Structure 1
Amino acid sequence: MTETPPITVLLDDTAYAEAVQLAVDSAAAYYADGTSTLDDDAYDQLVRGITAYEEKHPESVLPSSPTGKVAGGAVVGDVPHTVPMLSLDNVFGPEQLADWAAGLERRLGRPVTAWSVEPKLDGLAISARYRHGRLAQLVTRGDGTAGEDVSHAIGTIVGLPDRLADAVTVELRGEVMMTASQFEQACAKREAHDGTTFANPRSAAAGTLRAQDRPYVCELTFFGYGVLPPPDDDSEFAVRLRGLPHSQVMGWVAAQGVQTTAATPVAGILAETLDQVQARVEEIAAARAELPFGIDGIVIKCDLAGDQAEAGFSSRAPRWAVAYKLPATEKITKLLRVEWNTGRTGIIAPRAVLEPVKLDGSVVTYATLHNVADITRRGLMLGDSVTVYKAGDVIPRVEAPVVHLRTGDEQPIPIPELCPQCGDAIDRSQERWRCVRGRNCQAIASIIYAVERDTLDIEGLAASRVKQMFDTGLIADFADLFFLTREQLLGLERMGETSTDNLLAAIEQAKTRPLSRVFAALGVRGTGRAMSRRIARHFATMDEVRAADAEAIQRVEGMGPEKAPLVVAELAELAPLIDKLVRAGVNMIEPGATPPSAEPVAPGQELPLASMSVVVTGTMTGPLAALSRNEVNELIERAGGKSSSSVSAKTALLVAGEKAGSKRAKAETLGVRVVSPEEFADQVSAFL
């Protein structure tokens, strides 16, 4: 976040005029229906370039320039705002934040001792007007001085009550947006209606807020960020409200039944120093990828009403508040081509090859496309401008084509007729297409996966050796490894007596792995290592797993109704392989686990981490130093807990090693118990 943000360099008045027009057109589209020729990051770069040019050439400044206007200035509304709805100036890192704060304090002539720090929500600003406690009118931001009446949306917005707790006349201001689940539901409704989907949550929210004649209704969400009494109201209530610190104003808003971010992991806080402000900025940035709604920055403002009044306003923004912008998680780039790959279970998956784009701090060249049905639903074409999303550790994914940027040169995406790996037929009976040869199409990849450290952990069995064994006919699947003889191995090229004996010992040791490892090695579709551990802990034995129907499988935590039947079908398909493993003497029991049919645990005999969600972060020390992260997760689940990768209000324990970083900060903010690796090892010592 300390990187100097790039700007668009403008060389002359012609380039400047073109840039201003592009910015005006993009803003008009963005605030009208959520579409734009530019993504947020590109728009910010353009405006910074316009600003830089105007500073050098003040005589060339055009009246239509976006630099002196409220964001969205091209949009015209017919409902005047009682008080202008201004936009915020931006900073892009700690140094710019410090410069802005120093300038503010110079203007005030004193230090600011109370800062409000809140998430900057990625939605549409609206004004909700209440008369005597009843919601009477909704108005969009528009050009900042007037907006559109969208009162028809009353009753469809979560978090914006029809009545306040008090019968007062006020104007609430906040953001309307779609959460991830609301966006998914909206896309499903639109697809059922006309076969298309929305490009992203913001454009979906913008279109939905203005729509009056759709045959379907999409739900929206509101988060309040401020409240104003009428300008001419001099009542005791209005005077008191105007004099409250912002933090207390937000407390009053929440008490009225209006949704704020207070109940979210990114709740607003009060900070006394700029260091505390920066620490909270980093905490909110770290939580961003896990939020069910979009944020694109953090708002920092003076908390005290007196500081705000004295700092005043510029022509387009308050001087007492600023937006600390975060790296973009969504950008527009070109879809160059689509690659088709066959995975180890035979699943045929498309991958988007993109024009490289910097996204959330890294350069993205490839992105997920899921399957053919997904490509068809989204209406993607080669050469499309597409929105690409990435946040934190999330794998980049193509969201949608930017249809209004099409030139007519786009081409349909070629769909394979045969398996791209082996050339055999494709089973198209499910949304996720599969080679008819299934695992046999990528048998070597399946075996390599099965013998890795986090599965059967057969030391010394490299991928090249697996391929050699497969090519010479010694093995057809990983179960065959357990039937290899010393003579067979000695017959392989570059296989001496010592290496043969070591490999045979490692294979023998692999027979003792817990059921969770064996199940993971099977590579059951719809499961991964974490789900394999849950299944093993739930059923305790392979016999119990194989006897379970879809309803029983669905009782495993995190197993949905769609995946459960697939797991049952997969186990039936894998029956010969499992039988072979049983004949080889491979362990089929999860140590410490109790089958569902067994007697309940007696009081006082519960596992030490029973029903606890545990997150591990940082570098492990002490007894845990020798374990991989997967092995630590296995340890957590043997002790009765649930391993998780993200800190939330449901987290019971955070194991924080060296360089724990943002997860520790978030845990401390949420009041989650934090322990060292050594303390945790003592707690679960019986399971190490």
Structure 2
Amino acid sequence: MTEEPPIAVLTDDTAYAEAVQLAVDSAAAYYADGTSTLDDDAYDRLARGIQAYEEAHPEAVLATSPTGKVAGGAVVGDVPHTVPMLSLDNVFGAEQLADWATSLERRLGRPVAAWSVEPKLDGLAISARYRHGRLTQLVTRGDGTAGEDVSHAIGTIVGLPARLAEPVTIELRGEVLMTTEQFEVACLKRQAHDGTTFANPRSAAAGTLRAQDRPYVCELTFFGYGALPYPDDASEQAASLRELPHSEIMTWVAAQGVQTTAATPVAGIVAETLVQVQERIEQIATVRPELPFNIDGIVIKCDLAADQSQAGFGSRAPRWAIAYKLPATEKITKLIGVEWNTGRTGIIAPRAVLEPVELDGSIVTYATLHNASDIARRGLMLGDSVTVYKAGDVIPRVEAPVVHLRTGDERPIEIPQVCPSCGDGIDSSQERWRCVRGRSCRAIASITYATGRDQLDIEGLATSRIEQMLDAGLISDFADLFYLTREQVLGLERMGETSTNNLLAAIERTKAQPLSRVFCALGVRGTGRSMSRRIARHFGSMDAIRAADAEAIQAVEGIGPEKAPVVVAELVELAPLIDKLVAAGVTMTEPGWRPPAVPGIDVDPDAQTAPEAGGTSELPLAGMSVVVTGSMSGALEALTRNQMNELIERAGGKSSSSVSKKTSLLVAGENAGSKRAKAESLDVRIVGPEEFADLVGALL
């Protein structure tokens, strides 16, 4: 699943020497405070290029070369490790992993009894020393033989208790990092004090771990990945720990109150075969985008102490463990421009133009910048080297400028003074700026959206036809479509009798679309297809929605205290448009809705449309969270994904786009891919299109 990345090609001794120096300098910065000139992917390519050159020219090897040294070797430490703190060698795909496993089993003279498979956390390795159960010292990896004392950080690291459950003398090893939430808080604190942000969570963790004189404190997180009795400890407990399989050691570590990955979606497992190892690698890679912390690979090691002991150690890494690297989700590139665009609701949003960079398997040239305030908070400038982050299928975003790489040639980003679409004024009273003309600024975009397949679905109404109507002054919004006369449409260029009749018939049919689609067509900010369905099913009628205040709107699942007032304000702004739709006879109720029962009050059964299948509890998907993936077949083949989601909700379920522990059912068609793998890892029930069609029955 992971292709081996290209290596840096070095042509002569001079290029080799320059590469070695760049690698040494980059490693020194990376392990000191995370401010490397290279991202992980670039460093890996450089290191592999150096290694390839040295294998071809052994006489040219420099003493300063990073090959053969423990990662982080550029950092000077004065606290000796009780046992060397080695790094791991890397593989970049299933084939390389199989080659490494074959070599290891050849060394052992037999198959590996069991494999341990764990996530490779993207942080800093440290040693936590406990005496009689009390945390006394923290030491960084350093050069592998000695590290720095960072005991001043004790008390600021989540997951690393001051006391263990047992009064043992032990050395715990693990990774210190910042979670996504901790990183966001740390950036806010740093901005408040010196106006800049951290480049990424790893650099934030590295700088924070060593910082002693900052006027603010940032929280860190620890995940343990091993436990070592002291070499001179001859106690029975120490002897027992030395003989335990790695998996059982980690169970013991967790029992001491230390955080491990056991409670996360990427918990360590024991696999009996390399096939099972590869399956777990793919499962971890699938859930990676949704983790609240960064990982950059998977660690595979012999689980049994006997296998580890027999395999032994190399000069820089154990022979019984390997790191399977995953594609980078973060890269450093140049911010070469910022484009400002006005959306269909009048929102003015910037977009970063980047020097093309390969990120997570695709070439990225654009990335998200949320708004002008976001640009100011991050301190971005044109020409900056910036970290760009991507997770899964999410649109890439610019994380932060890499301030230490600035040359002095960077320029301020020009902020527009007028709407970039129409040239009218800008309403900057809120964080997200908006053209003062609102939706009318981009009428064609809002009308095209409203009439699209997942909204009103007006068959035969192309964008070019909408442009004609706007230019002719026949419409100014999508409600005007319902007032078009036959003569007006016939008068348009390339509109004959048949095409006119077909278009007017399609518009007339649209009047019967349910409230959920009509509401979605309005394009209310902060809502989309799924949220529109929730709102329609919650209130049942447009009158009820318009009468609701922010508190009532907030009762809809997924609408928080910030979004609710925006929805209320939007509905006030859209009142003339909604009134025109009502007058045109467009449906303003949701089929199958009925008000919640109120004790002591009888509801006239004729006053509401009865649900398709009795009460909510009787519906086939009642209370279930359902995800659809892959190509549907049979009775479901003709349905769009939005129609599938509507079907799920009519059947009493909740449609979702991602698989999680809360998922009740995955409908997996052909080419289901990563969502199926994740569902299998979480033991989520999986059905095919035919079984699902049988399940929802008459609702189809």
Is the TM-score greater than 0.5? yes
| Per-residue Cα deviation, 1:419-465 (whole angstroms, up to 9, x for no partner) | 11111111111111111111010001000000110111111111111
2:620 is matched with 608
2:351 is matched with 351
Question: Using the alignment, how far apart are the partners of 2:179 and 2:284 within structure 1?
Answer: 17
DSSP 3-state at the match of 1:626: coil
2:183 is matched with 183
The Cα shift of 1:2 comes to: 4.3
**2:616–2:652 CA contact under 8 A, matched in 1:** no
**Equivalent of 1:660, from 666, 672, 696?**
672
The Cα shift of 1:377 comes to: 0.7
DSSP 3-state at the match of 1:251: helix
The Cα shift of 1:191 comes to: 2.0
| Per-residue Cα deviation, 1:536-591 (whole angstroms, up to 9, x for no partner) | 12222111111111111112111121111111111100010011111111111122
**1:593–1:638 CA contact under 8 A, matched in 2:** no
Question: Using the alignment, how far apart are the partners of 1:176 and 1:536 within structure 2?
Answer: 46
Corresponding letter in the other structure for 1:492? L
Q: Does residue 249 of structure 2 align to residue 237 of structure 1? A: no
1:532 is matched with 532
1:633 is matched with 645
Q: Does residue 265 of structure 2 align to residue 265 of structure 1? A: yes
Corresponding letter in the other structure for 1:144? G
1:456 is matched with 456
The Cα shift of 1:204 comes to: 1.1
Corresponding letter in the other structure for 1:646? S
1:590 is matched with 590
The Cα shift of 1:284 comes to: 0.9
**1:537–1:637 CA contact under 8 A, matched in 2:** no
Corresponding letter in the other structure for 2:552? A
Question: Using the alignment, how far apart are the partners of 2:124 and 2:223 within structure 1?
Answer: 10
Question: Using the alignment, how far apart are the partners of 2:445 and 2:200 within structure 1?
Answer: 36
Q: 1:564 to 1:603 in 2, by over 3 A?
A: closer
1:283 is matched with 283
2:475 is matched with 475
Question: Using the alignment, how far apart are the partners of 1:686 and 1:587 within structure 2?
Answer: 23
Question: Using the alignment, how far apart are the partners of 1:677 and 1:156 within structure 2?
Answer: 50
**1:538–1:596 CA contact under 8 A, matched in 2:** no
Question: Using the alignment, how far apart are the partners of 2:642 and 2:17 within structure 1?
Answer: 56
Q: TM-score, normalised by structure 1?
A: 0.98
| Per-residue Cα deviation, 1:264-303 (whole angstroms, up to 9, x for no partner) | 1111111111111111111111111111110101111111
Corresponding letter in the other structure for 1:117? V
Question: Using the alignment, how far apart are the partners of 1:641 and 1:597 within structure 2?
Answer: 20
Question: Using the alignment, how far apart are the partners of 1:528 and 1:596 within structure 2?
Answer: 24
Corresponding letter in the other structure for 1:304? L
The Cα shift of 1:182 comes to: 1.3
Q: Does residue 115 of structure 2 align to residue 115 of structure 1? A: yes
2:85 is matched with 85
Q: 1:281 to 1:605 in 2, by over 3 A?
A: closer
The Cα shift of 1:526 comes to: 1.2
Question: Using the alignment, how far apart are the partners of 2:320 and 2:252 within structure 1?
Answer: 21
Corresponding letter in the other structure for 2:475? I
DSSP 3-state at the match of 1:10: coil
Question: Using the alignment, how far apart are the partners of 1:139 and 1:52 within structure 2?
Answer: 33
| Per-residue Cα deviation, 1:360-408 (whole angstroms, up to 9, x for no partner) | 0000000001111111111111111110001210100000111111111
**1:126–1:175 CA contact under 8 A, matched in 2:** yes
**1:482–1:584 CA contact under 8 A, matched in 2:** yes
Question: Using the alignment, how far apart are the partners of 2:194 and 2:555 within structure 1?
Answer: 36
Question: Using the alignment, how far apart are the partners of 1:151 and 1:608 within structure 2?
Answer: 57
Question: Using the alignment, how far apart are the partners of 2:27 and 2:433 within structure 1?
Answer: 41
Q: 1:211 to 1:2 in 2, by over 3 A?
A: closer
Q: Does residue 211 of structure 2 align to residue 199 of structure 1? A: no
The Cα shift of 1:596 comes to: 5.6
Structure 1 gap ranges (5+): none
Question: Using the alignment, how far apart are the partners of 2:514 and 2:657 within structure 1?
Answer: 22
Question: Using the alignment, how far apart are the partners of 2:319 and 2:8 within structure 1?
Answer: 25
**2:286–2:677 CA contact under 8 A, matched in 1:** no
The Cα shift of 1:517 comes to: 0.9
1:545 is matched with 545
1:440 is matched with 440
The Cα shift of 1:477 comes to: 0.3
**1:124–1:175 CA contact under 8 A, matched in 2:** yes
Question: Using the alignment, how far apart are the partners of 1:598 and 1:330 within structure 2?
Answer: 53
Q: Does residue 480 of structure 2 align to residue 488 of structure 1? A: no
The Cα shift of 1:595 comes to: 4.1
The Cα shift of 1:598 comes to: 5.8
**1:538–1:594 CA contact under 8 A, matched in 2:** no
Q: 1:99 to 1:350 in 2, by over 3 A?
A: same
Residue correspondence of structure 1 range 12-51 to structure 2 within 5 A: 12-51=12-51
Q: TM-score, normalised by structure 2?
A: 0.96
The alignment of Structure 1 onto Structure 2 pairs a total of residues equal to 688
1:306 is matched with 306
| Per-residue Cα deviation, 1:316-339 (whole angstroms, up to 9, x for no partner) | 001111111011100000111111
Question: Using the alignment, how far apart are the partners of 2:220 and 2:202 within structure 1?
Answer: 11
Question: Using the alignment, how far apart are the partners of 2:82 and 2:619 within structure 1?
Answer: 61
1:401 is matched with 401
**2:265–2:287 CA contact under 8 A, matched in 1:** yes
Q: 1:544 to 1:146 in 2, by over 3 A?
A: same
**Equivalent of 2:636, from 624, 643, 657?**
624
The Cα shift of 1:662 comes to: 2.0
Residue correspondence of structure 1 range 303-342 to structure 2 within 5 A: 303-342=303-342
The Cα shift of 1:609 comes to: 2.4
Q: 1:79 to 1:450 in 2, by over 3 A?
A: same
| Per-residue Cα deviation, 1:65-121 (whole angstroms, up to 9, x for no partner) | 111111010001121111111110000111111111111111111111311111111
**1:76–1:142 CA contact under 8 A, matched in 2:** yes
| Per-residue Cα deviation, 1:464-489 (whole angstroms, up to 9, x for no partner) | 11111111111110011111121211
Q: 1:94 to 1:414 in 2, by over 3 A?
A: same
1:378 is matched with 378
Question: Using the alignment, how far apart are the partners of 1:138 and 1:594 within structure 2?
Answer: 62
Question: Using the alignment, how far apart are the partners of 2:258 and 2:515 within structure 1?
Answer: 50
Corresponding letter in the other structure for 1:667? A
2:605 is matched with none
Corresponding letter in the other structure for 1:619? S
DSSP 3-state at the match of 1:590: coil
Corresponding letter in the other structure for 1:272? E
**2:105–2:111 CA contact under 8 A, matched in 1:** yes
Question: Using the alignment, how far apart are the partners of 1:137 and 1:641 within structure 2?
Answer: 52
1:568 is matched with 568
DSSP 3-state at the match of 2:67: helix
**2:331–2:389 CA contact under 8 A, matched in 1:** yes
Structure 2 gap ranges (5+): 602-610
DSSP 3-state at the match of 1:381: coil
Question: Using the alignment, how far apart are the partners of 1:649 and 1:542 within structure 2?
Answer: 34
Question: Using the alignment, how far apart are the partners of 2:2 and 2:328 within structure 1?
Answer: 14
Question: Using the alignment, how far apart are the partners of 2:594 and 2:652 within structure 1?
Answer: 11
Q: 1:453 to 1:219 in 2, by over 3 A?
A: same
1:682 is matched with 694
Q: 1:345 to 1:244 in 2, by over 3 A?
A: same
Question: Using the alignment, how far apart are the partners of 2:28 and 2:679 within structure 1?
Answer: 41
| Per-residue Cα deviation, 1:148-182 (whole angstroms, up to 9, x for no partner) | 11222222211112221221111111111111111
1:162 is matched with 162
DSSP 3-state at the match of 1:68: coil
Residue correspondence of structure 1 range 112-151 to structure 2 within 5 A: 112-151=112-151
